Chains A and B, each alone.
Chain A
Amino acid sequence: MSPLLSLVRTALRVNFGLSLFRPREILRKKRDLWMIPLFVLGAASLGPILYFYVKIIQVLHGWLVPAGQQAVLLTAAVLLGQLLVLIFGFYYVISAFYFSRDLEILIPLPLTPVQVMLSKFSVILTNEYLTVALLVLPVFISYGVLEGAGVGYWLSAALVYLFLPVIPLAVVGLLVVGLMRVANLSRKKDALIIVGSLVLMTAALGGQVWFSRSAGSSSPDPEAIARSLAAPDGLVRSLGAKFPPSVWATRTMAGGPGGAGWGNAALFFGASVLLFAGLVLAAERLFYRGLLGLGETSARRKTLGREALTGRLSSGSHPVRAVFSRELRLMNRTPIFLLNGVLSVVLIPVIFVLMAKTGGGRSDATQILAAVGSKNPVAAVLASALFMAFSGCLNGTASSTFSREGGQFWISKVIPVRPRDQAKGKLLHSYAVALLGIAAASVVILLTFRPKAAVLLAALAVGAVTSFFLTTVGMMIDLVRPLLNWTNPQKAIKQNFNVLLAVLADLAFFILMFFLVKILGKGLLSGNSLVVAVFILLATLSVAGYRALLAFADRRYPHIEP
Chain B
Amino acid sequence: MIEIRNVSKSYAKGRVKAVDDLTLTVRPGEIFGFLGPNGAGKTTTIKMIVGLLKPDRGTVVVEGFDAQKDPLRAKAVTTFVPDTPAVYERLTGLEYLNFIGDVYGVPKKDRLARIEKGLEIFELASAVGSPIQSYSHGMKQKIVLIAALLPAPRVMVLDEPMVGLDARSAHHMKTLMRAHCEGGGTLFFSTHIMEVAEKVCDRMAIIHKGRLVAEGTMAELRSLNGTKESLEHIFLELTET
Contacts and interface: CB of A to CB of B under 8 A. Distances in A.
Interface of A: 28-29, 297-304, 306, 309-310, 312-319, 321-323, 325-326, 329-330, 333-334, 407-408, 410-411, 413-418, 558-559, 561-562
A410 B127 CA distance: 24
Contact of A407 (B50, B86, B115): B86
> Shortest 6 CB-CB distances between A and B: which pairs?
A299-B130, A322-B102, A299-B134, A416-B76, A333-B90, A416-B75
Interface string B50-72: 11111000000000000010011
A417 B101 CA distance: 12
A219 to B, nearest CB: 50
Nearest to B98: A314
Interface in B89-129: 90-91, 94-95, 98-108, 111-112, 115-116, 125-129
A319 B90 CA distance: 19
14 contacts: A300-B130, A303-B126, A314-B98, A316-B107, A316-B108, A319-B103, A322-B103, A323-B103, A326-B88, A329-B90, A414-B51, A415-B75, A417-B72, A561-B52
B82 interface: yes
Interface of B: 13, 50-54, 68, 71-73, 75-76, 78-80, 82, 86-88, 90-91, 94-95, 98-108, 111-112, 115-116, 125-131, 133-134
Contacts of A410: 52, 80, 82, 86
B106 A309 contact: no
A310 B109 CA distance: 9
A533 B167 CA distance: 69
A416 B91 CA distance: 20
B79 to A, nearest CB: 8
Nearest to B102: A322
A414 B80 contact: yes
A297 B112 contact: no
A407 B13 CA distance: 24
Nearest to B79: A414
A415 B91 contact: no
Contacts of A299: 127, 130-131, 134
B72 A301 contact: no
B106 A316 contact: yes
A20 to B, nearest CB: 12
Contacts of B78: 414
A297 B102 CA distance: 28
Contacts of B112: 306, 309-310, 313
Given A313-B115, A322-B102, A418-B72, A297 B133 contact: yes
Contacts of B100: 415
A301 B126 contact: yes
Given A299-B134, A415-B103, A304 B88 contact: no
B125 A316 contact: no
Contacts of A407: 86
Nearest to A406: B86
Nearest to A422: B103
A486 B87 CA distance: 15
A561 B82 CA distance: 14
Nearest to A31: B13
Contacts of B129: 302, 304, 312
Contacts of A318: 102
A33 B69 CA distance: 28
Contacts of A561: 52-54
Given A319-B103, A322-B102, A562 B130 contact: no
Contacts of B52: 410, 413-414, 561-562
Nearest to B74: A416
Given A304-B125, A310-B112, A322-B99, A334 B107 contact: no
Nearest to A322: B102
B88 A330 contact: yes
A414 B50 contact: yes
B125 A558 contact: no
